[in-house]
Chains A and B, each alone.
Chain A
Amino acid sequence: MEQLEGDSMTDDQRNHFNLEITVTDPQKRTGEGGTSTSYVSYQISTKTEDPAYHDGKPNMNNIIVVHRRYSDLLLLHDVLANDYPTCIIPPLPDKKVFQYISGDRFSQKFTQKRSHSLQNFLRRISLHPTLSQSSILKMFLTSNDWDTYRRSIIDNLPSNKEEVTDAFMNAFKSVNIQSDEFIEIKERSDKLDHTITKLDKIFHKVVKKNDSISEDYVKLGTALEELSELVTGENDELAKNLKTFQEGIVQLSYLINDLNKYLDYDYLVDLKDIEHYIESMRQLIKLKDQKQIDYEQLNEYLTKSIKEKDDLIAGYGGSNFFTNKLEEFAGISQEASRRDKITKLEERITSLDGELENAKKIADGFEQETLKEIAQFESVKAKELKDTLDELADENIKFYEKMLQTWTKVDESLV
């Protein structure tokens, strides 16, 4: 692991210009050029000291602001996925077809959550040593001509259909020799995924519970107000205390709502994004396995061919008695055909040798890249976990500090 951390250190040094990306202010827009379709546009601001981003006219705060929509980010994702097959491309939030149907996709809750998730996506890219250097990212983050750019490439994007069928064909094959390292990685990611999913589920419940609790307090507040009015004139001291307490309860309900909003809009999105990120990593491992399977199959084929050749040279085996007889009847000289076969096999073996070497190189290279990617993933994940926990702690501290403040005040004003 230390080695991994070391790796990320050198990465940092390689591109010492940080990209600080925030996605905010989701806005509903009506489609340009008379089309009636609406979409949501997100404001993406990048803060960096990289002169390449500023195009010779650096602005005061080194901040560049552009507006993009979900499909723009999708394009960015797809292009990166095509350009860097060995990288873990951070996942995008789901398309959420259901929200499209119900028309909910313009709701504040939905767009807020999505903008947070998109920000996670861009930040992950910016943290990646290779992806962050890609020119399309720079284009995406800075260019005013993005729209035209997008239109020109969107139609010519190579389809990755082939890959899909390929992957499907080999879906039931698994790697023969899995290195311990990958077994461990898999196990770890499974566990992590399981835990994060569980946390995600419980936090969903917590958010729901908090909602109903906040509602309880609104109702309780109203009832207390009535009680306070009732007592007024009868026992003014108590009435005042009730009023103070009621204000505290109302405040409590607001504070719970605030905390809940953070949990719902930010923390839950972060958790979900980590789940997706783990999934992306698994996809990469699958791809790596694919390459290995390719190599293993070639290897198998080669061994078979060599064995066949050896058998032929030894003068037996290979083909069975019946084929031999048939060939005899057909007037094919057994000896001639044997020689012919051996030559063919030799040719095949040579070509296979080359290919095998090639496949081995690819598989090994892929494995190396994958390991690097996974190290990268681990460091991003660790950073994200740290950041989200930091935020979680901050929000909770904020909540309890305000609570404490509110209730200390209530306590003090009680007579």
Chain B
Amino acid sequence: MNNINIFDNLNNNNIDEEEEEEEEEEEDNNPFSGTNHMFASGMAGVPDPDTLSKTPDLKLGYEYPQQQSNGNKSATTKNTAIESQGEDSPYNDGDLSTVSSRTHSSSNGSDTDSQGSHTNSNSNSQYEPYENLSLSVALAQQQNQENIIQDQKDWKIMITESGNFNDQWGKHAIGYVIQYNDKEVIRRYSEFSSLHDLLIKFFPTIVIPPIPSKHSLMKYFLNPINAQYDTKVIEKRKRKFASFLNNCNNIPEIKSHIIFQNFLDPEFAWKDVIHSPPVTILPQNNLLAPPLNQVKPSPLHPLLPSPSTSNSPTHLQIMDSLKDNNELMNVAKEFIKIESLLSHYLGTLQPIYNEVKHNKFHLSSLSGQFAELGAFYNALSIENLPFGKLSSCIEKIGRSYDIKYVSMEVLTEGIQNLLEENIEEIVKLLIDSRRVIVFKNMKLCQYQIVKITLQKRQNRLKELNEFEDKLNRLDLALSRDASSSRTVATVVDNLKKKDNDTKSNNNNPPQNPNKTVENNDDSNGPDMDQIKLEQKHIQLQFQLQKKRKKINKYTSKLDSLGPEFLTKTERDLESKKIAKEIEKLNECFKVIQRDIKEVNLSSMTSLANLLQYVQKKLDFMLHGIVKLILNYNLECLKAWKEAKTLINEM
């Protein structure tokens, strides 16, 4: 095992394996209950008590250095969780009541956990007379929670906990406990990040759900030691990682992929996964591998051209190049439609994201001012104590501001969770969709290059063949005329002689005239006529070469020349070569044609899904935020009406 995933505190408190059996019997075996530790609420976010009842048979949740099947400690924690979840009643006494209620409210994704403790501590320390206050907030939170539950009810993967753990080298890191199919595994940020990178490599045609971005440098700068342990950031990441995993899980290709499965499997150390196949056999260039299965061996794919990504074709170029293919043309048109739609979404959502972020900051500073107002009205109320009723009126006003403050905090948190994070996710998805589009376009580029090359070769072959035909026809005509004309007969004779020469030279490239001469010496012996003819032939070749040079000084390739400038040998050679090339090209063309079909289908599905997801998310956000606003208004209105009643009594 490369990774040793131990929750520090778990390790300290539950060292003995035997202890775990006893602890199961105890009601309160959570060593952190009543403290501020994040385990205080037990293992929050346990989805379904039914699945949990099977915990004793569970496979291990964490990986331990000694051996990988040591799952006792995780089981302990889980049992704690069941109890705090299933048996609420024993917790309902003493100072534990807050803890259990918190566990309850945070049972789904533990979204508001940090917030709950925040308001709790506030109401406890600062506003003692306001016990009702925290209650009403808890209520609001529950309603708030329901909205989020709706979105997450189909989530199968949970991030149940996060905390410090040490790896083999004693290095501290924050680990996230992923729970899936009754299994638990701890992964850390860098592992999530590498999974994300790998998914991008494995699936060039699929929009990959985003992961939370790295800590900003600014945060490190301001608070270099505590930045990464900031609980708010960790809570946020928990939510985002859960969303990432579930969104991946909803994409069949990813869900069934070995890398993703290994990530969720505690049997695998991530370090091993990324240093073994299929990760290690990923191709350098994703264009030169089967698009939907990058690691599948394919002899033809490396033969495909690799156009540079920097000159990805424009819509116009694509449309232009597909003129002759109706089917692809129609698909391309559809792509252009969806692409422009997606880019418009990005264009409008980005400013909305900024506005929402802005607004969140404003609201939270406003809520701080409300808190101050509440405090000063309280002071004013105390100063006016001699005035009896007036004093209590002022106190009520102060209370209204307190409630305004608390509700505003809830609202702000809601805006953050519901709007800001979701819009951020959508924006990231939309940005990633560009990668898919570029890949698709590059594939089209490849297709185009292969097609054009094939066409060129075919044309050339046709050209050569036609020339050959023409010569044959000429030959035929000459030999026919030779019987009636002596002159023609002599010409034919000469030509035949020439032909023989060339034939005898077949094995020798004409580039080296001296060698040709020697060859002739060997095969035909010293014959003046022959030599003369040979010289003539060489002269002919030089003439041809001169002409060639005249036509194009820069072209030394034979295949760019008209066939009339080539000798018979050259023509034959080229024909053969081209025939071979065409054979290969045809195979390649078939491959790229299949690729294009696959890429088009896969990309289109992914983009269409993305579009649907965006719309669904937007609709969900709208409904959720309206509920939040309504809640906020209800709370505040109630508080002010109470204050008003009291004032009226004066």
Contacts and interface: CB of A to CB of B under 8 A. Distances in A.
Contacts of B394: 385, 389
Nearest to B362: A213
A404 B631 CA distance: 9
A385 B384 CA distance: 10
A411 B358 CA distance: 24
Contacts of B233: none
Nearest to A229: B348
A191 B618 contact: no
Most buried by B among A230, A393, A397: A393
A404 B634 contact: yes
A351 interface: no
Given A396-B636, A400-B640, A411 B627 contact: yes
B647 A216 contact: no
B647 A390 contact: yes
A396 B633 contact: no
A246 to B, nearest CB: 10
B399 to A, nearest CB: 12
A206 interface: yes
B359 A195 contact: no
Given A241-B619, A400-B633, A234 B341 contact: yes
A312 interface: no
A217 interface: yes
B349 interface: yes
A403 to B, nearest CB: 5
B547 interface: no
A16 B373 CA distance: 38
B202 interface: no
Given A195-B376, A238-B619, A245-B622, A223 B352 contact: yes
A227 B359 contact: no
Given A195-B383, A396-B636, A397-B644, A209 B366 contact: yes
A298 interface: no
Given A202-B372, A213-B363, A414-B623, A403 B386 contact: no
A340 interface: no
B467 interface: no
Interface string B380-398: 1001101100100110010
A393 B618 contact: no
Interface in B579-596: none
Contact of A216 (B355, B384, B641): B355
Interface in A207-252: 209-210, 212-213, 216-217, 219-220, 223-224, 226-227, 230-231, 234-235, 237-238, 241-242, 245, 248, 252
A353 interface: no
Contacts of A212: 362
A219 to B, nearest CB: 5
B344 interface: yes
Contact of B376 (A198, A392, A400): A198
Nearest to B379: A195
A224 B625 CA distance: 14
Nearest to B388: A1
A394 interface: yes
Nearest to A192: B383
Prevailing SS type, chain A contact patch: helix
B122 interface: no
A230 B352 CA distance: 14
A230 B366 contact: no
Question: What DSSP secondary structure best describes chain B's contact surface?
Answer: helix
Q: How large is the interface on B (under 10, 10 to 19, 20 to 34, 35 or more residues)?
A: 35 or more
Contacts of B356: 220
B397 A392 contact: yes
B400 interface: yes
A167 B623 CA distance: 67
B528 interface: no
B355 A206 contact: no
A414 B626 contact: yes
Interface residues of A, number: 54
Contacts of B524: none
A32 B562 CA distance: 104
A191 B383 contact: yes
Contacts of B397: 389, 392-393
Nearest to A252: B629
Contacts of B633: 400, 403-404, 407
Nearest to B352: A223
A153 interface: no
A216 B359 CA distance: 6
Contact of B637 (A213, A397, A411, A414): A397
B490 interface: no
B170 interface: no
Contacts of A390: 644, 647-648
Interface in B336-356: 341, 344-345, 348-349, 351-352, 355-356
A202 B365 CA distance: 11
A158 B618 CA distance: 74
Contacts of A397: 637, 640-641, 644
Given A219-B355, A230-B348, A411-B630, A238 B615 contact: yes
B218 interface: no
B643 interface: yes
B2 interface: no
B647 A393 contact: yes
Nearest to A378: B387
Contact of B352 (A220, A385, A404): A220
Chain B CB within 10 A, most for which of A191, A404, A407: A407
B369 interface: yes
A217 B377 CA distance: 29
Nearest to A389: B397
Contacts of B351: 219, 223
Contacts of B358: 216
Contact of B348 (A199, A227, A404, A408): A227
B383 A400 contact: no
A63 interface: no
Contact of B626 (A199, A226, A400, A407): A407
A401 interface: yes
B650 interface: yes
A188 interface: yes
B400 A393 contact: yes
A150 interface: no
A167 B366 CA distance: 44
A321 to B, nearest CB: 61
A109 interface: no
A154 interface: no
Contacts of B623: 414
A73 interface: no
A205 B368 CA distance: 11
Contacts of B370: 206
A217 B611 CA distance: 26
A226 B349 CA distance: 10
Interface string B559-577: 0000000000000000000
Task: Determine which residue in A198, A237, A252 has the highest number of CB atoms from chain B within 10 A of its CB, and name it.
Answer: A198
A410 interface: yes
Given A216-B359, A389-B397, A238 B618 contact: yes
Contacts of A248: 626, 629
B377 to A, nearest CB: 7
Given A235-B615, A382-B387, A397-B641, A389 B393 contact: yes
Given A230-B345, A230-B348, A396-B636, 15 more contacts: A191-B383, A192-B380, A195-B380, A198-B372, A217-B359, A220-B355, A223-B351, A227-B349, A234-B615, A237-B619, A252-B629, A386-B390, A386-B650, A400-B636, A403-B633
24 contacts: A195-B380, A196-B380, A199-B376, A206-B370, A209-B365, A209-B366, A212-B362, A217-B359, A223-B352, A226-B348, A230-B341, A230-B344, A238-B615, A241-B622, A386-B390, A393-B400, A393-B647, A397-B644, A400-B636, A403-B629, A407-B626, A407-B629, A407-B633, A414-B626
Enumerate the 9 nearest inter-chain pairs by beta-carbon distance, A residue then B residue, closest first: A400-B637, A216-B359, A393-B644, A209-B366, A396-B640, A220-B355, A227-B348, A403-B633, A223-B352
